[in-house]
Amino acid sequence: MNKIFITLVLLFSSLLSQSKGFEKIDKKTVAIYTQYCSSCHGEKIEAFVDRKWLHGNTKPEVIASITNGWISGGMPSWKNTIATKDIDKLASLIVKSLENVEQYKFASKPKTNVFKSGKMTLKLDTVATGFESPWGLTQLPSGDFLITDRAGVLYKVDNNRNKTIIKNTPKVLAKGQGGLLDVEIHPDYAQNGWVYMTYSKFKEEEGSTWTTTALVRGKIENDTFTNIEELFEAKPYTKTTHHYGSRIVFDGKGYVYFTVGERGKHFEYAQNTDNDLGKIHRLHDDGKIPTDNPYYGKLPDSQSLYAYGNRNPQGLIQNPITKNIWEHEHGPRGGDEINIVKAGVNFGWPTISYGINYDGKPITNLSKKDGMEQPVFYYIPSIAPSGMAFVTGNKYPSWSGNLLIGSLRYNYLERCVIKDNKVVSNHKELLNIGRMRNVKMGNDGYIYIGVENPGMVFRLVSE
């Protein structure tokens, strides 16, 4: 038995020993899965089972699939390789894994806007409605909000809940996952009035539409976006219309950080440092490149690059205590990650991953590699994270210091308890309120939440 096989078995055994419902699965069954199944279905069985089952997912159906195979789909018969009793145990392992995945699925819509969390009673107070997808949100010193709709519109929402369209915002390609994305104001907005936005910029060339992620800033005067300056345009453009990344955060030291996805079909961009895709970038607030960026002067392009090896980062926030920048990103099927951003760090995508591809096949057989950063936390199955906030102030005493993440897939608020830069526990809140696109702390101390289908923004009130 070679070292790689032993490592996979030990790693998988460790994972199973920590998971509910796996206590009675013996190490031999784990070894069988690792030896015969993982090369096609991935190292993590939780990612493998989180899929559409074409031939049934009951134990008898799984036994039949393993025993007889499905040659037309590339699945061989294992009846002459794996003993009948071991196939039975392997099917039990898969069915137990399915039960673990199923617990994440919630079917019914809430019948009330009031929720309980520990000793707190929480109420959703509607701030604004009528969006396709309220992607970005920031609160002005006046208490008014700027809210982007992915469809391509920037709204100002005042304290009386009146919506006003801000004219002259960048033209976007609102297709796939593209559109008008994040919005953030400069830390000194009260003095300088700068508003920053990311969006899917596009151009027509050679009979095709090409898109990229761009960062602009401007000022709002008479409900019009003016004094527009393009600070960044990711290279290269691609024909794909997803994985734009696009969250923005300031660090209080004059730097702006923002994320760019690897654009979906171009995994290799994330590992190569000669392009801007699959990266976290850092600029001065006026768009100049900081001379202490890790690749400044070392690369002909992408000198704004601060960290790389990212898939599709849709969460970016500064920890108010440690001042570290935290990030989360979508994995494929499994492997969503929470990371702490450090200069020059390689987060590994797609060389390492805890997820598998959407077709059920592994992207990589590695989840760790020297020189590549391990996530603070990862999710199997994927929750599809979007938006990110650390809870500050005194309005939510039970959640103080917790990290909040929206789940697009499971329609809830993910709450993570953080200790020593680790996720020590995680909890599901506000079940089934909708595809949660964004979660943000307002400067008034309230938590604000944007959901899709229908597109609405709520203020979370603790009673």
For the segment 137-164, the average pLDDT, to the nearest whole number, is 97
One domain for residues 435 and 341: yes
Residue 176: pLDDT band with limits 50, 70, 90: very high
User: How would residue 199 be classed by pLDDT, with cut points 50, 70 and 90?
Assistant: very high
Q: Is the pLDDT confidence value at 123 over 70? A: yes
If you ran DSSP here, which 8-state letter would residue 427 be given?
E
Instruction: Give me the CATH number covering residue 258.
Output: 2.120.10.30
In a domain, residue 457? The reply is yes
On whether both 166 and 37 belong to a single domain, the answer is: no
Residues 338 and 424 in one domain: yes
Q: CA-to-CA distance for 195 and 248, rounded, in angstroms?
A: 11
17, pLDDT greater than 80: no
Q: Tell me, yes or no, whether 140 and 228 share the same domain.
A: yes
Residue 7 domain-assigned (yes or no) = yes
Looking at the 3D structure of the chain, how many domains does it have?
2
Q: Which helix (H) or strand (E) holds 440?
A: strand 435-441
210 lies in a domain?
yes
> Concatenated DSSP letters for 99-146?
HHHHTT---SPPS-SEEEETTEEEEEEEEEEEES-EEEEEE-TTS-EE
pLDDT at 19: 39
In a domain, 107, yes or no: no
Region of poorest pLDDT, from 101-105, 154-158, 290-294, 412-416: 101-105
Provide the pLDDT confidence category of residue 2 given band limits of 50, 70 and 90.
very low
Distance, in Å, from the CA atom of 42 to the CA atom of 333, rounded to the nearest integer, reads 10
State how far the Cα of 407 lies from the Cα of 383, in Å rounded to an integer. Answer: 5
Residues 139, 98 within the same domain:
no
* pLDDT greater than 90 at residue 386: yes
| Domain edge (last residue) among 47, 70, 102 | 102
108: in domain: no
| Residues 436 and 317 both lie in one domain | yes
pLDDT of residue 195: 98
Q: How far apart are the first and last CA of the chain?
A: 59
Q: Are residues 57 and 204 in the same domain?
A: no
pLDDT of residue 362: 87
* Predicted confidence (pLDDT) per residue in 303-317, tens digit: 999 999 999 999 999
Query: Above pLDDT 70, what percent of the chain?
Result: 92
Question: Are 239 and 139 contained in the same domain?
Answer: yes
Q: How confident is the model at residue 103 (pLDDT cuts 50, 70, 90)?
A: low
192 & 81 share domain: no
What is the DSSP pairing of strand 455-462 with strand 447-452?
antiparallel
Residue 428 maps to a domain: yes
User: What percent of the chain is helix, strand and coil (3-state, nearest 5)?
Assistant: 15, 35, 45
Asked if 74 and 221 sit in the same domain, the reply is no
Among 277, 283, 300, 321, residue whose Cα is nearest residue 419? 321
Select from 102, 123, 147 the last residue of a domain. Answer: 102
Report whether pLDDT(50) > 50. yes
* pLDDT tens sequence across 205-253: 989 999 999 999 999 999 999 999 999 999 999 999 999 999 999 999 9
CA distances (Å), origin 132, targets 35, 158, 171, 244:
46, 19, 17, 18
Same domain, 355 and 265: yes
Question: What pLDDT is attached to residue 388?
Answer: 98
pLDDT at 6: 39
Q: CA neighbours within 13 Å on the CB side: how many for 247?
A: 25
What average pLDDT does the chain have? 90
Which residues are part of the catalytic machinery? 243
For every residue of 200-259, DSSP letters joined together read EEEEEETTEEEEEEEEEEEEEETTEEEEEEEEEE-SS-BS--------EEE-SSSEEEEE
Range of the domain at 35: 3-102
Does 349 have pLDDT greater than 80?
Answer: yes
Per the CB < 8 A criterion, the answer to whether 204 and 193 are in contact is no
pLDDT, average across residues 37-55: 80
451, containing H or E segment:
strand 447-452
Q: How far apart are CA 326 and CA 338, in angstroms?
A: 7
Q: How confident is the model at residue 25 (pLDDT cuts 50, 70, 90)?
A: low
pLDDT per residue as tens digits for the range 402-433: 999 999 999 999 999 999 999 999 999 999 99
Q: Which of 50, 81, 102 is the last residue of a domain?
A: 102
Determine whether 366 is exposed, middle or buried from the number of CB atoms within 10 Å of its CB (0-12, 13-18, 19+).
Answer: middle
Secondary structure of 15-36 as H, E, C letters: HHHCCCCCCCCCHHHHHHHHHH
Higher-confidence residue of 283 and 56: namely: 283
258 or 86, greater pLDDT? 258
DSSP state of 365: S
Q: What is the mean pLDDT of residues 117-144?
A: 96
Q: Name which of 104-108, 270-274, 338-342, 389-393 the model is least confident about.
A: 104-108
What are the backbone dihedrals phi and psi of residue 277, each rounded to the nearest 5 degrees, phi first?
-90, 145
In-domain check, residue 364: yes
In angstroms and rounded to an integer, the radius of gyration of the C-alpha atoms of the chain is 23
Residues 448 and 333 in one domain: yes
- pLDDT tens column, 255-302: 999 999 999 988 999 999 999 999 999 999 999 999 999 999 887 677
pLDDT higher than 70, residue 186: yes
- Within-domain flag for 204: yes
Does residue 122 surpass a pLDDT of 50? yes
The whole-angstrom separation of Cα 159 and Cα 125 is 13
Taking the alpha carbons of 87, 92, 93, 99 in that order, is the dihedral positive or negative? positive
* Contact status, residue 212 vs residue 203, Cβ threshold 8 Å: no
Q: What is the pTM of this model?
A: 0.88
